[in-house]
Structure 1
Amino acid sequence: MENTDRLSFLEFLPVSIFGAVMGLSGLSFAWNQAVHLWHLPLIISQLIGGLAVITFIILTFTYSLKFWKYPDLVLQEFKNPNTISFFSTIIISLLLLPGILLPLFPTLAVSIWVVATLLIGLFAWYVLRQWLDRQQKPASAMPVWLLPVVGTLNVPIIGSKILIPGSHEVCLFFFSIGTVFAIILITIIFSRLIFQEPMPNTVAPTLMIMVAPLGLAFNSYENLSHSQDMFAAVLIYFGLFLLLLLSSKLLMLPRACPFQISWWAVSFPLATITNAMCRFVENKTEFIPQYLAKFLLLCTTLVILFLLIQTIIRIVKGTFVPVSFTHVQTAIKE
């Protein structure tokens, strides 16, 4: 492979592209919450949700085609410690899509959620065993580490609305795993960011992933406890501070790092904290929180629209080059 420009779209296609489904699903939930808050048209949430479902179907077919034509590339991506965490984006997408399908196809939605819940539990266990069985280098601690383990916080997001025997205890179980490991892993990642070399610009957008656990924990906690207490306030306000901190670091990124698939890493965290903020202000009349929720919804919508347009343009032009492909290429050569 002398020139990466000659490689096909399928060879470039990374599993992390499923992060687009997560971002669209989260944005659909945020707009759905906005419908109840400000009486906005429900059709916006439905259209975004429909786009998320269609995107998942297309990506599932395309990535399956890649596995059929280039199984070695997919297997190397799975075995590579730099990219294995991204496989959880498929499972998390399956955990979120039932929230879109539930009003129309409740049986299908419940079935998908049950399967996805089993998969995220098994995958989190597998990744943790890999970390415990093999010594990890401090510099390898990246925000993507949060995806497979803290991704368990996605289980109660929809699971709390599914009324099947034992679902509440299952949601509590995964909420506990995700919350405790969020504290552990965010501490490790911050330590790496402070005491190790800076992350390359190409993966810098994944920093925003650290915001997602706060939004997910808030939404899951409110779903399970049906209350907004001091702990819930800590989650949302610390999430907002972390968003402000990391956003200030990423604002200059476009000058140093041209658009690529890693930019989609900002979509789901933004959507998650926006949805959490919209839920937080549901029973509040204060001026600042209300307008902050509206501002976040607007910004998140514009960011995801920009990412979607840029992705389509680059696919059409043939300039779609994901950051994770470099890691896969390295793994194959080794």
Structure 2
Amino acid sequence: MKQKLQFFPVTIFSMVMGMTGLSILIGKFYHLQWLPYILYPISIYVASALFLTFLLLYGLKWIYYPAEVKNDFHHRIRINFFSAISISLLLISIDYYSFMPLLAVPLWWIGMLLHSFLLLKTIRFWIEHNFELQHFNPAWFIPVVGVILIPICGVDIAPPFLSYFYFSIGFFFWIILFVLFLYRAVFHVQLPEKFIPTFFILIAPPAVGFVSYMRITTSFDNFSLFLLFIGYFFLILLAFMVKNFMKLRFFVSWWAFTFPLSAISIASVAAYQITHMPFFEIISWILFFVTVATIGIVAWQTIVNMRIERICVEEE
């Protein structure tokens, strides 16, 4: 058991992101009376329990194996996944915002402050260390996605300028990192197999950006459509690449499939709530079933690989 704890991966918090994204999506469907109420609190409690369990286990790893946690925090790839902890907090605060707002507000403040700290630490790490182009992968987008999440509840909790501040940072770094990603993907060697699922992270910034922008401006305008349709474009592009994903061996990184699908589904539901256009209703239902099926498959594979002890092992 102690050996498993020693190699407990910080990347496991991407599972919380996926499950919390699904819970928010179920909440959206419930509020539109498309799903029964009972599924909403169940999904919230499952996501919350996962987060608390993983936080406890990683906390124990920090106590018993501080050197391993330090190695994670100074690893060129794993450092980006520490932001998944603060993102999980922010997503849980969004989840509770219409369910238990008195709990959502302190969770948002903790998530916002923690994510701000982790974002600055991560960017400083990028600047202070020598990176080659092959070190870049879509996991670098994770801190950026978290920044764009902050305004979703922040517009009601904190002064408006704070939401504009974080949205501006997220949008700025999304553009820069996307240029780097495109250059790396086209003109350099292919990503290792375990990082191929992180391609789905490309969907998240424009999808989350759409929801965040709508919350800040309360305006369904050309720029909001630009963000939404960029998200759809990446979704269609990845659908065309489906053969590349079907043949992959299982890694914890498979959970990178889940949150971006939830994010673009939530964005589609939000678009329907504003426009009441049948197009967005149909897209919402299609993406809902795709998201649920994907999370079901990834969760099952996670359980199977836990049973054969392929998770919580030493990584390269």
Range class of TM-score, shorter chain: over 0.9
Summarize the Cα distance change of 1:34–1:107 in structure 2 as closer, same or farther, 3 Å threshold.
closer
Q: Superposition pairs for residues 166-315 of structure 1, below 5 Å?
A: 166=159, 168-255=160-247, 257-315=248-306
What is aligned with 1:332? none
Q: CA deviation at 1:321?
A: 5.4
Q: Superposition pairs for residues 67-106 of structure 1, below 5 Å?
A: 67-103=62-98, 105-106=100-101
Higher RCO (CA 8 Å, separation ≥ 6 residues): 1
What is aligned with 2:14? 19
* Alpha-carbon distance in 2 for matches of 1:283, 1:154: 20
Q: CA deviation at 1:151?
A: 2.0
The root-mean-square deviation of aligned C-alpha atoms, in Å, is: 2.0
* Alpha-carbon distance in 2 for matches of 1:235, 1:105: 30
TM-score normalised according to structure 1 size? 0.88
Q: CA deviation at 1:290?
A: 2.0
User: Contact 2:152/2:216 (CA < 8 Å) preserved in 1?
Assistant: no
TM-score normalised according to structure 2 size? 0.93
**1:193 aligned partner, one-letter code:** A
Percent of residue pairs identical: 32
User: Contact 2:97/2:153 (CA < 8 Å) preserved in 1?
Assistant: no
Q: CA deviation at 1:233?
A: 0.7
Summarize the Cα distance change of 1:109–1:282 in structure 2 as closer, same or farther, 3 Å threshold.
closer
Range with bigger deviation, 26-35 or 235-244: 26-35
User: Contact 2:19/2:47 (CA < 8 Å) preserved in 1?
Assistant: yes
User: Contact 1:24/1:52 (CA < 8 Å) preserved in 2?
Assistant: yes
How many residues are treated as equivalent by the alignment?
Answer: 316
**1:259 aligned partner, one-letter code:** F
User: Which of 109, 128, 131 is residue 136 of structure 1 equivalent to?
Assistant: 131
User: Cα deviation per residue 1:223-247 (whole Å; 9 max; x = unaligned)?
Assistant: 1111211111111111011012123
What is aligned with 1:326? 315
* Alpha-carbon distance in 2 for matches of 1:98, 1:287: 30
Structure 1: 4+ residue segments shifted above 4 A: none
What is aligned with 1:3? none
Give the match's secondary structure for 1:128. helix
Structure 1 position 55 matched with structure 2 position 47: no
Gap regions ≥5 residues in structure 1: 1-5, 328-334
